[in-house]
A and B are shown apart, each in its own frame.
Chain A
Amino acid sequence: MNTDILIIGSGPAGIQAAIYAARRKVDVIILGKLENSSLAKAHVENYFGISGPIVGIDLLRVGKEQAEKFGAKFIEEDALHLERKDDKFIVKTEGGKEVESKAVIFAMGVSRKKLGVKGEQQFQGRGVSYCAECDCGFFKGKKVAVIGDGSAAASSAILLAKYASKVYLISKKLSTSEHLQDELKVGNIEIIEGKRISEIYGNSAVGGIKLDGSSLEVEGVFIELGSKGVIELAVNVGLLPDPRGYIHVNEEQKTSVLGIFACGDICGPPLQLAKAVGEGCIAGIEAAEYVKRISKLEKQTV
């Protein structure tokens, strides 16, 4: 699939960027799941023009319809991988799709990475890991657990199954693409759904986890909540977030990498709806201008 602008993230920042870009007559594809936006569960009272509390998911749904009306195309899947190919960017989705784009707008928001259970902090670096790609090699032939409900957990379990002897994928309710579900059908992956993890235990390193009272012996616990985060997606294209995980942009929402823009919570505080849509507006306009400019240059050189 080809497009002019690919927006990763369909919260208020991404959708607002899609609306502005699509109205400028460039092709726009937007990835992500509305219900994973921070706004989905919010009751908003401090946004201009809204006085009584309004439910976030309703705002998102209307926003999506607006963007679609102007021609933006939604793919309700997570991005798993981003890379540069010549002057374009290629993103791979959890559904196995490949989208090639001239410009990319990061609008993934910020998401919780920590589980918040007993033992998690204590065993960080001693069996508790937040990065399967980084640490898979240390668990060759060992039993591990992956915790999470989304595409990050599923793709991590698939990777870890190549190293570990056994991978337990522990999830409240797994919600990911069919493509990933198929890939999860590997002999040494066992999916455990509907159980709550209450503790990570061990002595000097992780020994196991407590699941609804019963224990499961593992040496590694990979906490992979939600979707692939900004760092995993950004480094391949040479973009490094600051230590807090935020992306730096200039007043045109441009990042340090040509062709990549960012907007919303991902750019840092205040983590507020009004700021997210404001930045989304600028990112949409600037990305469209950028794409038109390089398209013109391409035509001139042909």
Chain B
Amino acid sequence: MGAISEKDKKHLQKIFEKNVQTGVKILVFTQEDRHREIKELMQELATTSNKIEVELYDFTRDSEKIKQYNIDKIPAIAIIGKEDYGVRFYGIPSGYEFSSLVEDIIDVSRGTTDLPEKIRNQLGSINKPIHIQVFVTPTCPYCPKVVRLAHKFAIENDLIISDMIEATEFPNLALKYRVMSVPKTVINEKIEFVGALSEEDFLEYILAA
């Protein structure tokens, strides 16, 4: 134990107490005794609220769950609320991304986000599957903003699935998508952009995908 400091735990307790509505499940997909760090981090996080539960799954043994949640690499995290909104983290959400995880938990517990009505309406009109991959590093201050937007979009539209991918933990993916700067976002394998965008501009790219 000790992945989260006592002081941070108190702080988390407070904000979860105030903001988490319905129960949230954090599904953690790892392999055997690898990925101890991510398991510990999530389990400690869950101690800060009785509305947050962690379920651990094994990549080789729990093939049914792997299929159900469409997990194709590990370590992976799926944040599930009343339903599965398609919020995923691949690699440890550490550094600046820890705040994305915390804010995502709150949004998922509410099943809604603070996106402006106009954006939500436009998102509602999307009627085909969208897969957003956001490549990040833990030391990137610009990244959480993009991860959060991608996850908010996923929460607002069932057809959108959004992945945070820690680029240094998945070097072959970083290579495949030619990631040399983060945040880098890839939409449906065909549209990509580097950097942080406003809600409107990000949405434009999704609509074009």
Q: Are B168 and A135 within 8 A (Cβ)?
A: no
Tally of contact residues, A, Cβ under 8 A: 26
When distances are taken between beta carbons in the complex, the residues of chain B under 8 Å from A137 are 137, 167-168
Q: How far is the CB of A170 from chain B (nearest CB, A)?
A: 19
Q: In the complex, which of the residues B139, B143, B144, B168 has the most CB atoms of chain A within 10 Å of its own CB atom?
A: B139
Q: Are B196 and A243 within 8 A (Cβ)?
A: yes
Q: A125-B193, A236-B141, A243-B197 are in contact. List 6 more A-B contacts (CB 8 A).
A: A124-B194, A131-B140, A137-B168, A220-B180, A240-B145, A242-B198
22 contacts between A and B (CB under 8 A): A124-B194, A124-B195, A125-B181, A125-B194, A126-B181, A127-B180, A129-B181, A131-B141, A131-B181, A134-B141, A134-B142, A136-B139, A137-B168, A138-B167, A204-B178, A220-B180, A231-B141, A235-B141, A238-B99, A242-B198, A243-B196, A243-B198
When distances are taken between beta carbons in the complex, the residues of chain A under 8 Å from B183 are 134
Tally of contact residues, B, Cβ under 8 A: 27
Q: Are B140 and A138 within 8 A (Cβ)?
A: no
Q: Does B54 contact A (CB under 8 A)?
A: no
If A137-B168, A243-B196 touch, whether A126 touches B178 (CB-CB below 8 Å) is yes
Q: How far is the CB of B202 from chain A (nearest CB, A)?
A: 9
Q: Are B96 and A138 within 8 A (Cβ)?
A: no
When distances are taken between beta carbons in the complex, the residues of chain B under 8 Å from A236 are 141
The dominant DSSP class at the B interface is: loop
* A242–B201 CA distance with the chains assembled, in angstroms: 13
Interface residues of A (CB under 8 A from B): 124-129, 131, 133-139, 204-205, 220, 231-232, 234-236, 238, 240, 242-243
When distances are taken between beta carbons in the complex, the residues of chain B under 8 Å from A232 are 141
Q: Are B137 and A205 within 8 A (Cβ)?
A: no
* A235–B141 CA distance with the chains assembled, in angstroms: 6
If A243-B196, A243-B198 touch, whether A135 touches B141 (CB-CB below 8 Å) is no
When distances are taken between beta carbons in the complex, the residues of chain B under 8 Å from A235 are 96, 141, 144
When distances are taken between beta carbons in the complex, the residues of chain B under 8 Å from A131 are 140-142, 181
